[in-house]
Amino acid sequence: MKILKYITRHRSLFLFGGAILAVWASLESDPDHGWATVLGGVAILQGIWAVAASHWARKALLDYPEADMRKLFARASEEATGAGLALIAMAIILAALMLVFSPRAHAADLPAGAVKYLPVLKAEQQRLWPDHPRPALLAGLVEQESCITLRARGCWNPGAQLKTAREEGAGVGQITRAYRADGSVRFDALAGVRDQYGAELGALSWSTVYQRPDLQFRALVLMSRDSARQFRQAPAMLEFGDAGYNGGPAGVQRERRACALARGCDPGQWFGNVELHCLKSREPLYGSRSACDINREHVRNVFQMRSAKYFAAWAAL
């Protein structure tokens, strides 16, 4: 009976009914088929953790009888001034503790380099690509490019380098130059983006790239933006842009045409559609992985595995 009485209280009906309605509305409007709703739920749980941690920290710091909030509330009903000031002081302490714990709830799973450089990336995004629909995906892109594991030395490290006889990838965005068999340069993405954006990237070169994290993040935002904007009319603009960042926009356009010619394939969607029509090489390139494997894994990792951990931290900046 007590449980039934509690459930039927107006406050309980409002809270539980409102929560169910909010979840339903979020799922119905979720562009990611439930994934964004799950991420929102995780963010709420992180907030609950921060409140709980703050509450228990307050109890530990104020563990003497005079600071018992129940007694203070009782006294406040008798004489407002002294007990009221004590309650205000305790509220300030609780608020301060929440400020301590809340950022850690968001940053606990982030690589150390991300904690340092995420503000730099966001500043460049807001300046150069302010209308990005889901800007935290750029953090997932950095992780995909630079993090073999989240604790690897190169993860979110401007000094990260992938160098073989055939290519060199530099920094957090793995800006690449590739070589022919005779040692001559086959293509140079760094030179290309610097020549295109001389005012922004004039100081970027192969002799300075590892010492200029600001220019690395700037180049990453510009290259990602330019790739995505080539598909601005498509619903999956960002997915196509990510595939283009990794393997070139021209190749993505060819694959969209191949998709359009196939029955039941939507050339405006990546997952389950264009991703199934890879025209890149299937010859082993790194270990057993081909260029096709790497490109498909790139988009899948950025959108479905790597970016989620950055959403709350990005929003908190």
Percent of the chain exceeding pLDDT 90 equals 61
**The domain that contains 182 carries what CATH number?**
1.10.530.10
Of 107, 123, 157, the one marking the end of a domain is: 107
CA distance 165 to 179: 7
Q: Are residues 48 and 124 in the same domain?
A: no
pLDDT digit string (tens) for 165-185?
889 999 999 999 999 999 899
* 8 in any annotated domain: no
* 26 in any annotated domain: no
Q: Are residues 179 and 47 in the same domain?
A: no
Instruction: Give the pLDDT band (50/70/90) at residue 45.
Output: low
CA distance 245 to 252: 10
Residue scoring higher pLDDT (257 or 16): 257
- Which domain does 41 fall in, by range? 31-107
Of 42, 72, 107, the one marking the end of a domain is: 107
* 13 in any annotated domain: no
* Ramachandran quadrant class, 264 (left: phi over 0; alpha: psi -120 to 50; beta: rest): left
Q: Are residues 138 and 194 in the same domain?
A: yes
- Total structural domains in the chain? 2
CA distance 223 to 178: 17
- In the sheet with 175-179, reading across from the earlier edge strand, the strands are 161-163, 167-170, 175-179, 185-188
* 248 in any annotated domain: yes
- The DSSP code sequence of 145-207 is HH-SSTTSTTTT-TT-EEE-SSEEEETTTTEEEEE-TTS-EEEEHHHHHHHHTHHHHTT--TT
Instruction: Give the pLDDT band (50/70/90) at residue 32.
Output: very low
pTM for the model stands at 0.68
* 158 in any annotated domain: yes
* 3-state DSSP assignment of residue 109: coil
Q: Are residues 173 and 312 in the same domain?
A: yes
pLDDT digit string (tens) for 247-271?
999 999 999 999 999 999 999 999 9
Q: Are residues 219 and 297 in the same domain?
A: yes
Q: Are residues 87 and 204 in the same domain?
A: no
* 90 in any annotated domain: yes
* 173 in any annotated domain: yes
Q: Are residues 190 and 306 in the same domain?
A: yes
* 21 in any annotated domain: no
Q: Are residues 156 and 220 in the same domain?
A: yes
Q: Are residues 91 and 152 in the same domain?
A: no
Q: Are residues 132 and 88 in the same domain?
A: no
CA distance 17 to 25: 12
Q: Are residues 133 and 261 in the same domain?
A: yes
